[in-house]
Amino acid sequence: MWPSAGLGRGEAMVSPKKRKRRVTRRRQRRRRRDHSVKARSRPEERGVDFFSPSVAKYWRQRHSLFSRFDDGILMDEEGWYSVTPEAIAVTHAARAASFAGRACPLVLDGFAGVGGNAIQFASRCDIDPRKIGFAVHNAKIYGVEDRIDFVTGDFFRLAPRLKIEANHVQTKAKAITAYFGDIAAGSSGLSKTCSGVTS
């Protein structure tokens, strides 16, 4: 008889040789499974080879950032850590709609980036033309490209000159919501350039 020490609940007594074979087989199966999962979800498979290793943790969360990521979402390295996860962006859009008292408020996203919030808000502004290109592409994947006007430029310079069509404000929007998700610069100028507008 072999000693029963180390047996788990429900395990019968097994020879040490058989136990070793079982453990080895389990490890081999686990390695194969883990390797195949890693192989299917590597950034290199999507042509994403220009990112630093620090982006790897965001890559693993890509479907929480964009649920339709596999449909061809485009992002740059900064976009990986600055994009708002889709569930949070949906909440922001719902809150903006509730503040305005209707389903389609006019929302200005001062720092649109790759379009995480812009897609959910459906006028956006970002300083990087490459990110605007990504945001336009990503909006097409979600089918909201016709409801978003992307503007390339520095928001702090554009804000004082932003004009909204009077027709839109009078007929559709009860309120204009300004959203500032990623403020890279200091926010001291925000109170001067943006104020709540209601009609």
Tell me what the mean pLDDT of segment 142-155 comes to. 80
In this prediction, residue 125 carries a pLDDT of 57
CA 144 to chain centre: 16
Question: For residue range 67-94, what is the model confidence (pLDDT) as tens digits?
Answer: 888 888 888 888 887 888 888 888 877 7
pLDDT greater than 70 at residue 190: no
- Who's near 131: CB < 8 A, 6+ residues apart? 76, 78, 79, 112, 113, 114
| CA proximity to 173, closest of 140, 144, 139, 197 | 197
Res 197: pLDDT: 40
Strand partners, 150: 124
- Write down the pTM of the prediction: 0.52
Whether the per-residue pLDDT at 96 is higher than 80: the answer is: no
pLDDT of 59: 82
Residue 121: predicted pLDDT: 67
Using alpha carbons only, give the angle 140, 182, 142 rounded to the nearest 5 degrees: 15
pLDDT grade for 106, boundaries at 50, 70 and 90: low
User: Radius of gyration over alpha carbons of the chain, in Å?
Assistant: 25
pLDDT band at 33 (very low <50, low <70, confident <90, very high): low
Q: Compute the average pLDDT of residues 110-120.
A: 74
Run of H or E residues at 151: strand 150-152
pLDDT surpassing 80 at residue 134: yes
Q: Please, what are the domains in the chain? A: 82-186 (3.40.50.150)
Q: Cα–chain-centroid distance for residue 13?
A: 51
Cβ-contact 155, 148 below 8 angstroms: no
| Average pLDDT value for the chain | 67
For the chain, percent helix, then strand, then coil, each to nearest 5? 50, 10, 40
Tokens encoding 189 = 């100028």
Which pair of tokens denotes residue 199? Answer: 């009609």
Q: What is the mean pLDDT of residues 28-50?
A: 56
The 8-class DSSP code of residue 108 comes to E
